[in-house]
Amino acid sequence: MKILVVEDEPLVADFLRRGLVAEGHAVTLAGDGGEGHAYALAGGFDVILLDVRLPIRSGLEVCSALRGAGVATPILMLTALDAVADRVEGLKRGADDYLIKPYAFEELIARIQALARRHTRGRIDPRARRYVHADLTLDRETLVVTRGQAIIALTAREIGILEMLIVRPGVVVSRERILSSVWGVQVDPLTNIIDVYIGRLRRKLGEHGAPIIETVRGFGYRLVEP
């Protein structure tokens, strides 16, 4: 996903940038409300992370202005203000969700994913039931995977990993994100379970074509052109 982070604290902004990039997202940073408003108006983002207390224009002002201009990008507001009235005000201004500092990074990722799902759900053509990348196809309804004319037998977890890769080909998916989404855990219980499953998936797909899964050392995996 392309994520706009509007945060004036350099250390916090850098932490968010590094963490989100490690999850495979593209991040744009804005250091004040004016810059954040301009970036958001230009469009192209899947989610906006918006601090409330910002110089130039507050997060609340930016949120109101964006909604008034017809920008529908999901907005997750980040703030240390934990009073109910503060949260209600943010939601009234057009925010989609509200996260109180300090927060766990895992929760932030989960909320970003939830916002993106809700935003895209209404825009997906219900007839579009297949993911296609080069000669590889994953049918979302039947869970049938084909490469060329061959049907490839995959386990449920192998399909789960493949779906994460094929949804956004070329985008790096971190080991942590695969663990969280496919296994529902944050720490690898068997130390190399991801390596084992990626190896199996590579072998099965490789039996019917050129290598298609690339390891990005230190970050994760991505689907490339064969």
Q: What is the mean pLDDT of residues 171-179?
A: 85
**Domain limit, last residue, from 121, 147, 181:** 121
Q: Which residue has the higher pLDDT, 19 or 81?
A: 19
| pLDDT higher than 80, residue 83 | no
| pLDDT higher than 80, residue 143 | yes
Inter-CA distances, 67 with 96, 148, 183, Å: 11, 45, 37
Question: 79: which DSSP letter?
Answer: E
> Are 17 and 96 members of one domain?
yes
Is the bond preceding 169 in cis, omega lying within 30 degrees of 0? no
Q: 31-40, 73-82, 178-187 — which is least confidently predicted?
A: 178-187
Q: 57-66, 113-122, 137-146, 208-217 — which is least confidently predicted?
A: 113-122
- The mean pLDDT of the chain is 85
> Are 97 and 117 members of one domain?
yes
> Quick one: pLDDT at residue 127?
46
> Are 83 and 51 members of one domain?
yes
| pLDDT higher than 50, residue 122 | no
Full residue range of the structural domain in which residue 102 is found: 2-121
Q: What is the mean pLDDT of residues 18-39?
A: 91
If pLDDT is split at 50, 70 and 90, which confidence band does 49 have? very high
Q: What is the mean pLDDT of residues 49-64?
A: 93
| pLDDT higher than 90, residue 215 | yes
> Are 117 and 138 members of one domain?
no
Q: What is the mean pLDDT of residues 124-139?
A: 73
> Are 179 and 74 members of one domain?
no
Q: What is the mean pLDDT of residues 91-100?
A: 87
> Are 160 and 98 members of one domain?
no
Q: Which residues are within 8 A (CB) of 17 and not within 5 positions of it... i.e. 6 or more apart?
A: 5, 27, 29
- Residue that is written with structure tokens 């968010």 in the block: 16
> Are 89 and 114 members of one domain?
yes
Q: Which residues are within 8 A (CB) of 46 and not within 5 positions of it... i.e. 6 or more apart?
A: 1, 2, 3, 73, 74, 116, 119
**Domain limit, last residue, from 87, 121, 155:** 121
Q: 2-6, 8-12, 167-171 — which is least confidently predicted?
A: 167-171
> Are 79 and 8 members of one domain?
yes
Instruction: Single out the residue of 60, 43, 53 nearest to residue 7, CA to CA.
Output: 53
Q: Residues 57, 32: contact at Cβ < 8 Å?
A: yes
CATH of the domain at 212: 1.10.10.10
If pLDDT is split at 50, 70 and 90, which confidence band does 145 have? very high
> Quick one: pLDDT at residue 102?
82
Give the global pTM. 0.55
> Are 158 and 83 members of one domain?
no
> Are 69 and 115 members of one domain?
yes
> Quick one: pLDDT at residue 141?
76
**Domain limit, last residue, from 76, 92, 121:** 121
> For the chain, what is the domain count?
2
> Are 157 and 81 members of one domain?
no
